[in-house]
Amino acid sequence: MIYHRLVLKQIFKKLIDTFWIAPTWLVCIVSVVIFTVVVVIVDDNSLLAKALGAADTISLVVALVLFIKEAPDRRKQFHYQAWSTIDAAHGVKVSYARILALQDLNKDGVSLRGLDAPGAELVDINLSHANLSKANLMESDFTNANLSYANLDNANLSQIKLSGANLSYAKLGFSRLNQANLSSANLSGANLICADLSHTNLSGADLRDASLSGANLEGAYLTGANLKNAKVSDSELSNAFLEGAIMPNGSRYKSSLSDR
């Protein structure tokens, strides 16, 4: 029984693959032939025969086949239009159409790798799980954006606005975040290995369990940030502003000046 099920499953899979590979005209002809055979076989007095005997049924069958067969092409056309919208908005600061296009492409699993949108206003955008590696987003505004689990490795995020953004478990390895605003951002579990965070505002940011090994934190503002269980050395934190921050060991940082 199990063997027969596996055979039927393989046959069904081959039929599906053939459907997508075969020319549209051939699929339509085969569908009409199968439909005609079914009409001949079915009892003339049955309810199914009456339904199949309608004059427009063959046209409906062909239309349905065409609709299904051409679905991937329609999806590709939609993607081309979305990219055209994004390209047309290049250099434009505010474009709601660009936000929708980016969200739709990401929802369809389309890679946004290398996206070039410097200075773009993308407030509240939802690009969770997006592939934005090597993107140029310098000076863009991603305030309160959802970039959780996004891939931003090697991206240019210099002077970007990410205050209040969700970057939990995001990949930011080797990214340029110098002079960026990440105040109150959620970076829990994020990978920031060898990222440039010099003079970056991380005040009040959630950096629990984040990986900061090799990151440049010179002049970074980590006041009030939560670094509990973060992977970062004392030497890497030595040139950052840490007043009121929760350190990797769970203790709260207090400078020697505050004791005076």
Within-domain flag for 75: no
CA distance 226 to 207: 5
Q: 101, 196, 183, 104: which is closest to 142 by C-alpha?
A: 183
Q: Are 113 and 64 contained in the same domain?
A: no
Q: Are 41 and 149 contained in the same domain?
A: no
- 54-104 pLDDT, tens digit each: 544 556 655 665 556 556 666 788 888 999 999 999 999 999 999 999 999
Q: Structural domain of residue 60, as residue ranges?
A: 2-69
Within-domain flag for 84: no
Q: Are 62 and 128 contained in the same domain?
A: no
Q: Are 129 and 189 contained in the same domain?
A: yes
What's the pLDDT at 26?
A: 59
CA distance 153 to 258: 38
- 176-224 pLDDT, tens digit each: 999 999 999 999 999 999 999 999 999 999 999 999 999 999 999 999 9
What's the pLDDT at 21?
A: 62
Q: Are 112 and 11 contained in the same domain?
A: no
Within-domain flag for 85: no
Which CATH number belongs to the domain containing residue 236 in this structure?
2.160.20.80
Q: Are 60 and 18 contained in the same domain?
A: yes
Within-domain flag for 88: no
What's the pLDDT at 75?
A: 77
Helices (H), 22-56: 24-41, 47-52
Q: Are 135 and 18 contained in the same domain?
A: no
- 1-20 pLDDT, tens digit each: 665 666 667 766 776 666 55
Within-domain flag for 87: no
- 118-155 pLDDT, tens digit each: 999 999 999 999 999 999 999 999 999 999 999 999 99
Exposed e or buried b per residue across 45-63, where buried means at least 16 C-beta atoms within 10 angstroms of its C-beta = eeeeeeebeeeeeeeebbe
Name the domain boundary from 53, 69, 85.
69
Task: Note the residue count of the chain.
Answer: 260
Q: Are 225 and 134 contained in the same domain?
A: yes
Q: Are 120 and 226 contained in the same domain?
A: yes
**What rounded mean pLDDT belongs to the chain?**
84
Within-domain flag for 233: yes
Structural domains of the chain, count: 2
Q: Are 113 and 200 contained in the same domain?
A: yes
Within-domain flag for 81: no
- Whether 154 and 174 have beta carbons less than 8 Å apart is answered as yes
Within-domain flag for 146: yes
Q: Are 158 and 257 contained in the same domain?
A: yes
Q: Are 59 and 147 contained in the same domain?
A: no
